[in-house]
Amino acid sequence: MADQEELNLYDEIEIEDCFYDETLQIYHHPCPCGDRFEISIFDMRDGEDIARCPSCSLMIRIIFDASDLPPESKDDAPTAVTVSA
């Protein structure tokens, strides 16, 4: 999590003001350019809090606690691959 001056953030948004897409497993928030800021649930679980707009250079900080995130499901966990010799 970098300093706000270093990133030149557009805004700070509470997680409650974002929309969660369960299928894509991303949080998104409208961007002034007409697109939307996006951040994946996996990045947020890893401590990332910066959502980026894919169409312009704007970024926002999502304010949240880990307890605000949806619970991790078994489908989210990486699967182990067994290689036989």
Domain ranges of the chain: 4-63
Is the domain spanning 4-63 CATH 3.10.660.10? The answer is yes
- pLDDT over threshold 70, residue 76: no
The band of 74, judged by pLDDT with boundaries at 50, 70 and 90, is: low
Note whether 55 and 33 are within 8 A (CB): yes
pLDDT tens digits for 21-62?
A: 999 999 999 999 999 999 999 999 999 999 999 999 899 999
pLDDT of residue 45: 93
Enter the tokens of residue 67: 């307890």
Residues 46, 40 contacting (CB under 8 angstroms): no
Q: What is the pLDDT of residue 68?
A: 87
